Amino acid sequence: MKIAIDGPAASGKGTIAKGLARHFKLPHLDTGLLYRAVGLSMMGRLLAPNLADLAEKEAANLDISQLDETVLGRADVALAAAKVARIPRVRAALRQLQVDFAAQEGGAILDGRDIGSRICPDADVKLFITASPEIRAKRRYAQLTRMGQKADEAQILEQIIARDESDRTNPAGAFYICDDAHLLDTSELDIEGALNAAIAIVNGTVSDGLNA
C-alpha cells in the first residue's frame, strides 16, 4: 500500500505519517528532510550566483542514511530548505530517490508537498493535512519550548505564513490539494484524534483488510 501525505508546514502531517507507518507497518520517508538537508548544506552560500549548480550537486550527493532530525528541524534550516526547493534541478535531483522509496515492495508512506501530485500520483491513498496558521504556530511553539529552545510564537506565525506563500507559489513544485486527495483539517483535533481520523480514511479507501 502506497500512501501519499501532503500539507503545509507544521500541519501535523509528519506526526500523522509516522503514526500511520507504525499502524500499518510501512516504511516512512519525510521528504521535507531531503530539502532541509540540501538547505543546511547551502547555508552561508544561499546568495551565491551559482546557487542552482551548487545546490543541485548537494542534492545529487545526498545520503539519506545521514539525516539528523534535530539539526534539520531548526527554523533557519526550514527557510533555507524552502529556498532550495524552488530550484527545479534540485527537485529533479531529489526525485528518483523518493520514487524508489515509494516503489518498495509492500508499500511505503511519504509526506511532503508534491507527493500526491508528482512523486506518487498512483498512490492508493492520498491525504492532504491542514490546520489554521495560528494553530500550526501554537503547536510549533509548544514543540520548541518542550525541547528547551527559545521561541517567539508571533515570529513563528510570521515564518509559517511566509513559508506557506513561498511553497504555494513555488514555480518548480507548487503544492495543492489533488482532486483524489482526502482533506483532513486537524485544527480541532489532538494527535490521537488526528491519527485516528487518518487511519479511518485509509481503511475506508483501501478496503481489503490491511488494517493492522
Which residue ranges make up the site for ligand C5P (CB under 6 A)?
9, 31-32, 35-36, 78, 81-82, 85, 112-114, 163, 167, 173
CB of 202 to ligand C5P, least distance (A): 20
Question: Which of 136/209 has CB closer to ligand C5P?
Answer: 136
CB of 188 to ligand C5P, least distance (A): 22
- Torsion angle defined by CA atoms of residues 171, 56, 16 and 29, in that order, rounded to the nearest 10 degrees: 140
Question: Which of 35/128 has CB closer to ligand C5P?
Answer: 35
CB of 124 to ligand C5P, least distance (A): 19
Instruction: Say how far apart CA 4 and CA 201 lie, in whole Å.
Output: 12
Question: Which of 129/201 has CB closer to ligand C5P?
Answer: 129
Instruction: Say how far apart CA 167 and CA 84 lie, in whole Å.
Output: 11
Question: Which of 25/76 has CB closer to ligand C5P?
Answer: 76
Instruction: Say how far apart CA 20 and CA 134 lie, in whole Å.
Output: 25
Question: Which of 166/203 has CB closer to ligand C5P?
Answer: 166
- Burial class of residue 70, CB neighbours in 10 A (0-12, 13-18, 19+): exposed
Helices 32-41, 75-84: crossing angle, 10 deg rounding: 90
CB of 1 to ligand C5P, least distance (A): 20
The residue written with cell numbers 489533488 in the block is 178
- Burial class of residue 37, CB neighbours in 10 A (0-12, 13-18, 19+): buried
CB of 144 to ligand C5P, least distance (A): 14
